[in-house]
Structure 1
Amino acid sequence: MNITKRVATAIFTATVAFTIVGCSSSPTKESTGEYVDDSVITAKVKASIFNEPTLKSTEINVETYKGDVQLSGFVAQPEDAKKAADLARGVKGVTSVKNDIRVK
């Protein structure tokens, strides 16, 4: 019985350790919480762009990684690219914005 308890405790401890390590982030991998946070930021940035009548939200792509937002796509005027970046910077949780939007 004593050996069974030790084996069960060892398995439980290993499972907890692997779970903690598996959910932590690294420079190249997001944790589960960071992924969810980035999804929320992406949705908020897309909503801000969608609600701006001067921008065509279907032509602007938004990606987020650890709070860093990357905008890409095409707009008609240089001011539109700047406006999209300004809207992204205004979203809570955004740490930086890389604006790769091109004028067509």
Structure 2
Amino acid sequence: MNQVSKYLSAALLAVTLVSAVGCSSTPQKEGTGEYIDDSVITTKVKTAIFNESTLKSAEINVETFKGVVQLSGFVSSQADINKAVELARGVSGVTSVKNDMRVKGQ
């Protein structure tokens, strides 16, 4: 019975290690937990932009990878860009903001 217990413990440890390594992140790929965290950050940034009446939120795209938020799309003015970046930076969990937004007509 003791031998079976050792094999069972070893098998459980092996499965745990494989699961942990399989869900870990790399510089190019997020782990499961990071993906969920980034989804929450993206939602919070989109909500902050949507709730700002001066911004047209449908024209601003938000993507997040490992806490870095990327904003893209077209807005009416430089002030809109500055406001969107400010709102994104104010969201908890955001480590930095990349601005790829453009002013319409430029």
- So what's the TM-score if we normalise by structure 2? 0.88
Q: Which residue of 1 aligns with 2:33?
A: 33
- 5 Å-filtered alignment, 1:1-104, equals 4-104=4-104
Q: Which amino acid aligns with 1:88?
A: A
Unmatched tracts of structure 1, length 5 or more: none
**What secondary structure sits across from 2:74 in the alignment?**
strand
Question: How many angstroms apart in 1 are the aligned matches of 2:52 and 2:5?
Answer: 62
Q: CA RMSD in A?
A: 1.5
In the TM superposition, residue 35 of structure 1 has moved relative to its aligned partner by 1.1
Question: How many angstroms apart in 2 are the aligned matches of 1:5 and 1:18?
Answer: 20
Deviations 1:27-69 (A, max 9, x none): 1121211111111110110000000111111110000011100
In the TM superposition, residue 3 of structure 1 has moved relative to its aligned partner by 5.9
Aligned residues, how many? 104
Q: Which amino acid aligns with 1:32?
A: T
**What secondary structure sits across from 1:97 in the alignment?**
strand
In the TM superposition, residue 94 of structure 1 has moved relative to its aligned partner by 0.6
Unmatched tracts of structure 2, length 5 or more: none
Quote the sequence identity (%). Answer: 64
In the TM superposition, residue 2 of structure 1 has moved relative to its aligned partner by 6.2
